[in-house]
Amino acid sequence: MPSYPVNQIRTADEQINILQITDLHLSLPPAAINGDASKLTVCQRNFEAVLQQALNTDIRCDLIMVTGDLVSQVKTALYDYIFAVLQATGIPFVCIAGNHDVTEEDNSELPFMQRTLIAQPADPRLLSRHVIDTDHWQLLLLDSSITGKVAGEITPTDIDWLCERLSVCDKPTLIAVHHHVIPVDSAWIDSHKAENTEDFWQHMAAFEQLKVIISGHVHQEQVRYRQGVTVYSTPSTCYQFQPFEDDFAYAQNVRPGYRWLQLANNGKVASWVERLDT
């Protein structure tokens, strides 16, 4: 059984295949909560179904990256369950925090802007400023969450850490973070993206080896480009948001998804999204 967290990955072909899952939004079992039990059950079922479908394909999976919002209720029992499911795969995995991992919403039956945000401590298993070294790639994980807030931040300390890591390692680099660092042209969610991103991008301009950034948070698939970097947004394993809408809206009849990334031994990247079979 791989130890957690993984710090190094080596493969025979020196290629790394990453399964990214994000925005699981799990809550306590129906007996222990007040609310829409059917919706909460769907998130749990979809999380397990996504893992099963992805890992039953003929793609070798070398690493599972979980990029935040593991839960909607910050309870140790939920993380115990998620980590047990992931460990049972026998595949190395890493998890970072999203806003819902450090912030609970009171009065969730009210419109979003009327809810009370309650700060919560992050589960200690969620990683911050973590490095994974591979034969030809460097993988850097950041915690962009801010306790008690929906928006995130790439802090000056984060930027200093990234610059240090990129200065001492010239391998092609992937950064994983929860909050998006490029607007997705949807006003309501863009108001909750990572703050301080212009400073982040200005500092990253010095490092040509930065190739890929992956994130969650926006519950939709997008691919954008800046400064030679490919920036991927990935669907939720649970429910999806309607793209290019300025007001909050769910995307009806859009299935849960996950992303594959193949990091080749020549620095090239292939990536695509798969959707959960009906």
Tokens at residue 142, please? 């950041």
Size of the chain, expressed as the number of residues it contains: 278
pLDDT, tens digit (0-9, with 9 covering 90-100), for 35-76: 454 544 789 999 999 999 999 999 999 999 999 999 999 999
Strand 138-141 and strand 130-133: the pairing is antiparallel
Q: How crowded is residue 154: how many other Cβ atoms within 10 Å of its Cβ?
A: 24
Per-residue pLDDT band at 157 (split at 50, 70, 90):
very high
Q: How crowded is residue 51: how many other Cβ atoms within 10 Å of its Cβ?
A: 21
pLDDT at 29: 67
Average pLDDT, whole number, for the chain? 93
Tokens at residue 25, please? 């939004």
Specify whether the CB–CB gap between 242 and 226 falls below 8 A: no
Give me the mean pLDDT over the 216-228 stretch. 98
- Indicate whether 30 pLDDT > 90: no
Q: What is the pTM of this model?
A: 0.94
Candidates 144, 132, 57; CA nearest to 98 is 144
For the residues of 223-256, what is the DSSP string, one character each? EEEETTEEEEE---SS--BPTT-SS--B-TT---
- Indicate whether 28 pLDDT > 70: yes
Tokens at residue 48, please? 């397990």
> What CA–CA distance (Å, rounded) separates 153 from 196?
6
Strand 210-215 and strand 229-233: the pairing is parallel
Percentage of residues of the chain with pLDDT beyond 90: 87
Specify whether the CB–CB gap between 261 and 17 falls below 8 A: yes
Give me the mean pLDDT over the 192-201 stretch. 98
pLDDT, tens digit (0-9, with 9 covering 90-100), for 87-145: 999 999 999 999 999 999 876 666 666 678 999 999 999 999 999 999 999 999 999 99
Specify whether the CB–CB gap between 105 and 115 falls below 8 A: yes
- Its CATH class, for the domain covering 16-275, is alpha beta
Alpha helices in the chain, H assignment, sequence order = 37-55, 76-87, 156-168, 187-190, 197-204
Per-residue pLDDT band at 32 (split at 50, 70, 90):
very low
> What CA–CA distance (Å, rounded) separates 75 from 81?
10
Specify whether the CB–CB gap between 122 and 102 falls below 8 A: yes
Q: Which residues is 176 bridged to in the sheet?
A: 141, 214
Tokens at residue 276, please? 């959960």
The owner of tokens 């140790």 is 76
The owner of tokens 């010095």 is 206
Amino acid at 65: M
pLDDT at 115: 75
Amino acid at 63: L
> What CA–CA distance (Å, rounded) separates 89 from 134?
20
> What CA–CA distance (Å, rounded) separates 207 from 230?
14
